[in-house]
């Protein structure tokens, strides 16, 4: 069985982390492939590891979603020491009593299930610091 990250910027080994493309000229970071930097127009990028810990800078509790998506859940924007990441919060009760701006979080991975070949899809989110890992 092979573990396959759901996005190409999730790196599983040796420890799970995110990888961004950083502009050589201005150090702006992006998760998708770029031909040019949206900040300065530069065209050269280097892959850099994103800090796996950060803090919640914005969030919403999602109560309605497409059929088959379990609600409620928390969608958040996390500042990973200068790199902004959009992801769901895991291992947290989805209400305002358990989620707060400035809450410290860390990257967590989880199984999205196996395909017919037995390969396992791996997703990611962030969990409160001190919570158990989902995967």
Q: Output the domain CATH number for residue 132.
A: 2.40.50
Supply the mean pLDDT for the chain. Answer: 94
Whole domain around residue 16: which residue ranges?
Answer: 7-50
Domain shared by 28 and 69, yes or no:
no
Domain shared by 34 and 59, yes or no:
no
Q: How many folded domains does the chain comprise?
A: 2
Q: Is residue 101 part of a domain?
A: yes
* Residue range 94-109, pLDDT digits in tens: 999 999 999 999 999 9
Taking 50 as the pLDDT cut, the residues of the chain under it are: none
Q: What integer pLDDT is reported at residue 134 of this predicted model?
A: 53
Domain shared by 45 and 57, yes or no:
no
Domain shared by 125 and 72, yes or no:
yes
Task: Tell me, letter by letter, the H, E, C secondary structure of the chain.
Answer: CCEEECCCCEECCCCCEEEEEEECCCCCEECCCCCCCCCCCCCCEEEEEECCEEEEEEEEEECCCCCCCCCCEEEEEEEECCEEEEEEECCCCCCCCCCCCCCEEEEEEEEEEECCCCCEEEEEEEEECCCCCCC
pTM to 2 decimal places = 0.90
């Amino acid at each position: 069985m092979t573990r396959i990250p759901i996005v190409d910027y999730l790196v599983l080994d040796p420890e799970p982390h995110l990888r961004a493309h950083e502009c050589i000229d201005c150090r702006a970071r992006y998760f998708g492939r770029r031909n040019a930097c949206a900040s300065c127009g530069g065209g050269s990028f280097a892959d850099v590891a994103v800090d796996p810990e950060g803090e919640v800078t914005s969030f919403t509790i999602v109560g309605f979603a497409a059929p088959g998506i379990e609600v409620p859940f928390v969608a958040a924007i996390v500042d990973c020491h200068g790199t902004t990441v959009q992801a769901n919060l895991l291992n947290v009760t989805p209400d305002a009593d358990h989620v707060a701006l400035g809450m410290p979080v860390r990257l967590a991975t989880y199984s999205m299930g196996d395909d017919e070949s037995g390969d396992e899809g791996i997703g990611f989110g962030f969990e409160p610091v001190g919570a158990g890992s989902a995967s």
